[in-house]
Amino acid sequence: MKKKIFIPLLFAALVLMAWTRFTTTSQYHFSTDSSKDKLLMELITYFMQQGHFSPRVINDDLSEELYDTFLEMLDGQKRFFLKKDIAQFERYKYTLDDEFRSLNTGFFDLVHERYLQRRNESKLFYTDLLATPFDYKKEEAIDLNYEDQDYALTTRQRIEKWRKQLKFSTLNIVHGKLADEQKRAKKDATYNPKSFEELEQEAREITRENLDNYFSLMEDVREQDWFASYLNAFVAQFDPHSVYFAPVDKDRFDASMSGKYEGIGARLTKRNQSIKIVEIISGGPLWRDQTVDVGDQIMMVRQEEGKPVDVQSMRLDDAIELIKGPAGTTVFLTIKKVDGTVEEVPIKRDTVVMEESYLKSTLINKAGRSYGFIHLPKFYVDFKDYKEINAAKDMQQEIIRLKSEGIQGLVIDLRNNGGGSLQTVVDMAGFFIDEGPVVQVKSTAERIKVLKDRDGKTLWDGPLVILVNELSASASEILAAAMQDYERAVVLGSKQTFGKGTVQNVLELNRFVSKGTYGDLGALKYTTEKFYRITGKSTQLEGVKSDVVAPDQYAYVDIGEKDEENPLVWDQIDSASFSKWNGYQNYQEAIQKSISRIAANNLFQLIDENAQWVREQQDKKEYSLNYQVFSKSIEKDELQADQFEVLNDYANNLTFTSLPYELTIMKTDSILAEKRKRWKNSLSKDMYLEEAVHILEDLRTNFISSKPLASSSN
């Protein structure tokens, strides 16, 4: 089984137009007399078979894979189930296809009930295991290669497995505490460091608290949540990017895509049976009112009409649902302040904008010249109102602002950008070319459509560099590929990008049943199309290969599409008709100069060595539980890590200045000012950005876009 890496690719390229094949229920009659769980099975099975770009036959092979996937979801470390449990489960191994066809939940019911039983048993003995010190002189080891391990045969064996895991966790904590004590004693000769026994006790207490919080969170997970996981295990057999969204997950997806929601403007967590505020979002209602602080505890929630509701022992999701609400309405929170005082605070809800979801820019200053830098975390959009919020509109505005400051070149940072709206990519690519195809899209019916920029205008015709890495996916790959195929930009970064060449459509399942019959059914995000470069080549699996490859920390880690389960295949279609951009005088020459600079840069070579070492550490699966052996092994690793410390000390020769409009905002917004200060500090240590500026310095164009231009709407 390939290693599963779960990364934030929920922002995969989406089709803005509704897929009309299933806009009515006239083609298929869905059951109305079954339970909600069975109806969901029926709906999801139907749409995955009839609407998926590459549907699978639901047979014994799929059943076996579904069986393995769901058990891995529940107990991937094999610390709950016993071997006799698995023996009972295995009678379903090749019949889950039949269960989905007959809308039977027998397997799920059995596994879920047994999981809760075994989990509750584990709660009873982990406290006992942590009550007394472990034997740190014992010669034993722990194997973290769970995939090749077997389940425990007896309860005694299961307890032994837990003992080793708890001891390993405690060892890591106590080793760190001892190191901190030694550093403190070295700085302060009068300090009396704590003994190993004292620190070991503290470490066991931390381990116990962590498990208490884990089990507390698990108790909040309802049966319907586990069933949603089961449905996702089924959907995952078709491809890695198809997902069933339970109602609360669909709300989060919408908020993440648009970067906004309606509420009070706070991030909450549940810990020790209390709901606490961990972050106040800049510009939101709480930030404006200044009546609530980070660390305050929410005890009660009251609406404008009704009595207060105690949320202290409530599931976090349920409490959030009570706190959220339409903009303009008021919610009353009974708050226990950090100092212990209790008061009821009225908060007028509003639209909350998650600033970190949106692009941001800065001026780069070097040797009297200015360059523009735009960081785009995702291709965000508000599907309900494309004109109100979308990344392309914001990109256009930011480019105009940067041009007015007289920039000599532009860098667009797509590193770690998992994708987003397909339409925003097409619009955005049009800012850098007069007109022409941007991407080709192939549907389930084998139809191919070419999405083009048609406005005949170019917003930025100066030097352009695009930064990518292995986590640049989907929509990011469309933009990088188009700019590369036109030879419009130099793509700088990893050997290849993520390799996700598929398009997903989000289908609201409530559309297919009588309103209100089952409550909210959630939504299905499933793969309906594949996209291709204008050359006809797919980015699926292969990604976009950088013009200039620079070593990075992910170089040897399995995080691409090719390392996911059930990825679709690579293929190729005919090329679209297009002409390469002719604005550069020395495009290939600038690329070769950059390649030579990186090859001669000792720090980039050190990054490559560090990446190889990180891979070696990840491949290490066995650790000694003898403290002396464990400690020496950690010290050896730390010694090796020290040789890479020089990378942390690196600073480039660039300086950064916010644009005038943002400087005005920061005069009254200290939170935004602090965020920008931290961001610019990180940019000052960015070797890749420095090389991008070198490329901008080298590139020569036939245009003079570096001079300040009047704002335009193109």
The predicted-structure confidence for 133-181, as pLDDT tens digits, reads as follows 999 999 999 999 999 999 999 999 999 999 999 999 999 999 989 988 9
Across residues 649-672, what is the average pLDDT? 93
- 603-650 pLDDT, tens digit per residue, is 999 999 999 988 888 888 999 999 999 999 988 888 888 888 889 889
Tell me the range of 2-6, 59-63, 205-209 where mean pLDDT is highest. Answer: 59-63
At 704, the pLDDT band (50, 70, 90 cuts) reads low
Judged against a pLDDT cut of 60, whether residue 581 lies above it is answered with yes
Domain hosting 274: range is 262-353
Question: Is 282 contained in some domain?
Answer: yes
CB atoms within 10 A of CB 441: 19
Q: Which pLDDT does position 32 carry in this prediction?
A: 57
pLDDT of residue 656: 97
Q: Is 493 left (phi over 0), alpha (psi -120 to 50) or beta?
A: left
Please say whether the beta carbons of 48 and 507 come within 8 A: no
Residue 582 is predicted with a pLDDT of: 93
Pairing of β 243-245 and β 410-413? unpaired
**Do 126 and 182 lie in a common domain?**
yes
Q: What is the pLDDT of residue 11?
A: 33
What is the model's pLDDT at position 472? Answer: 96
Same domain for 368 and 310: no
Among 46-50, 384-388, 583-587, 628-632, the least confident range: 384-388
Confidence (pLDDT) at 516: 65
> Is 254 within the bounds of a domain?
no
> Is position 304 within any domain?
yes
- Tell me if 282 sits within 8 A of 675, measured CB to CB: yes
State the pLDDT confidence band at 300, using cuts at 50, 70 and 90.
Answer: confident
Could you read off the pLDDT of 110-135 as tens digits, one per residue?
A: 999 999 999 999 998 899 999 999 99
Q: Which of 143, 315, 105 is nearest to 231 (CA)?
A: 105
Q: Which residues on neighbouring strands pair with residue 369, listed in sequence order?
A: 366
Residue 641 token pair: 């890590």
- For 86, counting Cβ atoms within 10 Å of its Cβ (0-12 exposed, 13-18 middle, 19+ buried), the class is middle
Residue 20, pLDDT above cutoff 80: no
State percent of the chain over pLDDT 70.
93
Q: Is residue 102 scored above 90 in pLDDT?
A: yes
Boundary residue ending a domain (330, 353, 376):
353
Above 90 in pLDDT, residue 217?
no
In a domain, 384, yes or no: yes
Query: In the β-sheet with 410-413, what is the strand arrangement from edge to edge?
Result: 548-549, 490-493, 464-468, 410-413, 369-375, 360-366, 655-657
Under DSSP, is residue 520 helix (H, G, I), strand (E, B) or coil?
coil
pLDDT, position 583: 95
Residue 21 in this model has a pLDDT that exceeds 60 = no
Boundary of a domain, candidates 237, 270, 285 = 237
pLDDT at 25: 42
Determine the average pLDDT of the residues in 567-591: 96
Query: How far is it, in rounded angstroms, from Cα 270 to Cα 331?
Result: 20
- Residues 154, 288: one domain? no
Least confident window among 316-330, 388-402, 529-543: 316-330
- Asked if residues 410 and 463 have their Cβ atoms less than 8 Å apart, the reply is yes
- Regarding whether 562 and 466 lie in a shared domain, the answer is yes
Instruction: Identify whether residues 140 and 282 lie together within a single domain.
Output: no
CA distance 323 to 315: 13
Asked if pLDDT for residue 16 goes beyond 50, the answer is no
Judge whether 352 and 287 are in contact, CB under 8 Å: no
Pairing of β 490-493 and β 436-443: unpaired
Residues 66 and 200 in one domain: yes
Strands annotated E in 96-251: 141-143, 243-245
Instruction: Collect all residues with Cβ–Cβ distance below 8 Å to 32 and sequence separation of at least 6.
Output: 39, 513, 514, 517
Same domain, 346 and 373: no
Q: How many domains does the chain have?
A: 3
Which range is least confidently modeled, 285-294, 392-401, 539-548? Answer: 285-294
pLDDT, residue 580, reads 96
Of 237, 254, 283, the position where a domain reaches its end is 237
Q: What is residue 354's predicted lDDT score, i.e. its pLDDT?
A: 76
pLDDT at 59: 97
pLDDT digits 0-9 by tens, 69-99: 999 999 999 999 999 999 999 999 999 999 9
193/270 same-domain check: no
Residue 371 covered by a domain: yes
Question: What is the C-alpha to C-alpha distance for residues 273 and 333, in angstroms, rounded to an integer?
Answer: 17
Distance of CA 136 to the CA centre of its chain: 38
Question: Does 2 map to a domain?
Answer: no
Could you count the other beta carbons within 10 Å of the beta carbon of residue 368? 5
DSSP 8-state assignment for residue 196: H
- Residues 472 and 615 grouped into a single domain: yes
308: tokens are 């207060």
Domain membership of residue 616 (yes or no) is yes
Same domain for 348 and 367: no
Q: How many residues does the chain have?
A: 714
Q: What is the pLDDT of residue 706?
A: 42
CATH of the domain at 325: 2.30.42.10
The pLDDT score that the predictor gives to residue 557 is 86
Tell me, what's the pLDDT at 9? 35
Rounded to a whole number of angstroms, the distance between the first and last alpha carbons of the chain is 50
Which pLDDT score, from 0 to 100, does residue 23 have? 39
For 426-458, the pLDDT digits (tens) are 999 999 999 999 999 999 877 899 999 999 899
The chain-wide mean pLDDT, for the chain, equals 89
Q: Kindly state the average pLDDT of the residues 307-333.
A: 86
**pLDDT band (50, 70, 90) for residue 712:** very low
Q: Which residue has the tokens 């989406």?
A: 14
118 with 159, same domain?
yes
More confident residue, 465 or 618: 465
Q: Which residues of 665-679 are buried (b: 16+ CB within 10 A; e: fewer)?
A: ebeebeebbebbeeb
pLDDT of residue 30: 62
Q: Which residue, chain included where needed, has tokens 């570096």?
A: 706
User: Do 348 and 363 reside in the same domain of the chain?
Assistant: no
pLDDT digits (tens, 9 = 90+) for 483-525: 999 999 999 999 999 999 999 999 999 888 876 677 889 999 9
- Burial classification of residue 13, based on how many CB atoms lie within 10 Å of its CB (0-12 exposed, 13-18 middle, 19 or more buried): buried
Kindly tell me if the per-residue pLDDT of 14 is higher than 60.
no
- Mean pLDDT on 261-271: 84
Whole-number pLDDT of residue 487: 98
User: What is the reported pLDDT for 383?
Assistant: 74
Q: How far is CA 166 from CA 124, 204, 226, in A?
A: 14, 8, 26
Query: Does residue 49 lie within any of the structural domains?
Result: no
Residue keyed to tokens 């989907």 = 474
